[in-house]
Chain A
């Protein structure tokens, strides 16, 4: 009986192909919108997570200043010193590496070309803490770090802009002019691309801290302390002991506020991911409304269909169709239509998500949950919005229905 009814319903859908297509268009758009939004949202979340992972997970960034956020002031707060790095390395447990960082914006000159970039004065630990790999060359030698030698490791963007066709190995040993001195390129970093905030991470020159302190900034300061945690160590505990140590070293009394900040990149990553997830849910909800509108479209067409097919219903009833058989036929027709729309929607969404992910350079994350949910929801919409027209059809008086023109 059920199979026969399904057959009848499918036959009916096939008989009115154009109308069936228009009927399900709303569902198709609704389902594909929901799935595409959620899939792209998941991709965005994944992208943010990946970019922050590239920045170095489990990384604490320690900066001078009262607090982070708008109106923060680092003026007046004393900077760090190279000795702080050593103190943290020796006195705090659970720490993998500690790297100092001193940044400076400069214009680089080579091969008769200029390029604005950032100088990053640090130590070999920086490559570990921030997940940098060298494509060619070597890291700093201890003697170079101690003496502040004129050596540098350049980022991919710097290589491309200043040396152009010269490959990563060919640029090794070449001179790079910074301000009034020339330094030798000893390594090239593997490209990381854009950061989560959209800046080019490869536009950078890494030099030993002392080289930058002496030749560029002309001071002994260190801007940022990068503290990379060991896998599995408790970041809260490390943060607490780090705070204690730095307060002590910076001679703060118990009543003084911290004059430095510890930024946990993992917390930052979680916050960013959380934001994109909220956006995903919002977009999904908006798309869900369109799915609902699609359902109303189905009800509308089914009601029209019942009126239009009154005579047919009369024939079926006269021939001996039971009330529930007519009900089931129209209900199944609505559900089959909605499910068909859902199916097309899923396929369309997959194609759209793949294309948009590629265009927006985001990873494509297939989420089986949302696909199944959207499909099930579209079928459920068929039941809900199909029931009323179906009941109306089933309750028709056969004589009246047969007389209907």
Chain B
């Protein structure tokens, strides 16, 4: 681990990041040299039209994918040089994921779903149960532990997914269109929950969204177009009050 400059470095640093899918004539350049620094404790919304590279950059930030070129430093660690299992260890140590489709294990209780990452961490059963119950309580699902995803509403399922993401007390929470499958009311509830996690627990939240209403909760909004950062603005009024505020002015 090259953590020598860890103190001077932001939590996340992307430099000249490129990603090419396919080869030869069919090659498609999804990222065309992205430079991005993200400080710990920030709440970043990544926006952009389809094919702009926002999902690709999210997958790269989530250590699920490796870039074709450029550098990705996480805590000063060169993620682009890591192997599959090393990235998996990084994910289970530092990262939590929330997906658009909730991605809970079917026919598995909320409790067991939330315990899953702890199982891979090798936590003892008692600690797992305790942590999972606490995480479910913190997303407002105390008493729903033994319900399976099929018995929960979309909003509740997404809360279970968030509980699963935060049960390991990650430094970074990556949310890929977390409100994409929810109605407006549920969407705002989920966003308030993410905001609270960021505000109260200091978890860095990285969120991909195409809904400006949801992006307004973030402290910083990064706009992608055609594989490049098009705009990068700070939101002067982040958080739940944004719900009733006027649309944010997008630079660029």
A residues neighboring B (CB under 8 Å): 1, 4, 7-8, 11, 15, 311-312, 314-325, 398-399, 402
CA distance A323 to B121 in the complex (A): 14
Q: Which B-chain residue is minimally distant from A4 (CB atoms)?
A: B119
Give the distance to chain A from B83, nearest Cβ to Cβ, in Å. Answer: 10
Stretch at the interface among B43-51, B87-95, B204-212, B234-242: B87-95
Q: Is the CB of B97 within 8 A of A318?
A: yes
The answer to whether A321 and B88 touch (CB under 8 A), given A4-B119, A4-B122, A402-B99, is: yes
Give B58-89 as 1s and 0s: 1 = Cβ < 8 Å from A's Cβ atoms: 01001011000000000000000000110011
CA distance A402 to B103 in the complex (A): 8
Give the distance to chain B from A405, nearest Cβ to Cβ, in Å. Answer: 9
- Residues from chain B with a CB closer than 8 A to the CB of A311 are 103
Count of residues in B whose CB is under 8 Å from the partner chain: 28
- Residues from chain A with a CB closer than 8 A to the CB of B121 are 320
- Residues from chain A with a CB closer than 8 A to the CB of B108 are 11, 15
- Residues from chain B with a CB closer than 8 A to the CB of A323 are 84-85, 88
CA distance A382 to B79 in the complex (A): 37
Task: Please classify the interface of chain A as helix (H, G, I), strand (E, B), loop, or mixed, using the class held by over half of its residues.
Answer: helix
B residues neighboring A (CB under 8 Å): 59, 62, 64-65, 84-85, 88-89, 91-93, 95, 97, 99, 103-108, 112, 116-117, 119-122, 164
- Residues from chain A with a CB closer than 8 A to the CB of B97 are 318-319
Q: Which A-chain residue is minimally distant from B117 (CB atoms)?
A: A319
CA distance A47 to B89 in the complex (A): 63
- Residues from chain A with a CB closer than 8 A to the CB of B59 are 399
The 7 tightest CB contacts between A and B, nearest first, are: A320-B92, A320-B91, A319-B117, A315-B103, A322-B85, A398-B64, A322-B88
Q: Is the CB of A320 within 8 A of B119?
A: no
Q: Is the CB of A319 within 8 A of B64?
A: no
Pull 30 A–B residue pairs with CB atoms less than 8 Å apart, ordered by A.
A1-B122, A4-B119, A4-B120, A4-B122, A7-B119, A15-B107, A15-B108, A312-B105, A312-B106, A315-B103, A315-B116, A316-B120, A317-B88, A318-B91, A319-B92, A319-B97, A319-B116, A319-B120, A319-B164, A320-B92, A320-B120, A320-B121, A321-B120, A322-B85, A322-B88, A323-B85, A325-B120, A399-B59, A399-B64, A402-B99
- Residues from chain A with a CB closer than 8 A to the CB of B104 are 315
Give the distance to chain B from A106, nearest Cβ to Cβ, in Å. Answer: 78
- Residues from chain A with a CB closer than 8 A to the CB of B84 are 323
- Residues from chain B with a CB closer than 8 A to the CB of A4 are 119-120, 122
Q: Is the CB of B103 within 8 A of A320?
A: no
Q: Which B-chain residue is minimally distant from A5 (CB atoms)?
A: B119
- Residues from chain A with a CB closer than 8 A to the CB of B62 are 318
Q: Which A-chain residue is minimally distant from B104 (CB atoms)?
A: A315
The answer to whether A322 and B89 touch (CB under 8 A), given A15-B108, A399-B64, is: yes
CA distance A119 to B237 in the complex (A): 118
Q: Is the CB of A8 within 8 A of B119?
A: yes
- Residues from chain A with a CB closer than 8 A to the CB of B91 are 318-320
Give the distance to chain B from A100, nearest Cβ to Cβ, in Å. Answer: 81
CA distance A1 to B84 in the complex (A): 19
- Residues from chain B with a CB closer than 8 A to the CB of A318 are 62, 64, 91, 97, 103
- Residues from chain A with a CB closer than 8 A to the CB of B65 are 399
Q: Is the CB of A320 within 8 A of B88?
A: yes
The answer to whether A320 and B117 touch (CB under 8 A), given A15-B107, A311-B103, is: yes
Q: Which A-chain residue is minimally distant from B119 (CB atoms)?
A: A4
CA distance A95 to B74 in the complex (A): 96
Give the distance to chain A from B159, nearest Cβ to Cβ, in Å. Answer: 16
Give the distance to chain A from B148, nearest Cβ to Cβ, in Å. Answer: 10
CA distance A319 to B166 in the complex (A): 11
- Residues from chain B with a CB closer than 8 A to the CB of A325 are 120
Q: Is the CB of A315 within 8 A of B88?
A: no
- Residues from chain B with a CB closer than 8 A to the CB of A317 are 88
CA distance A15 to B148 in the complex (A): 12
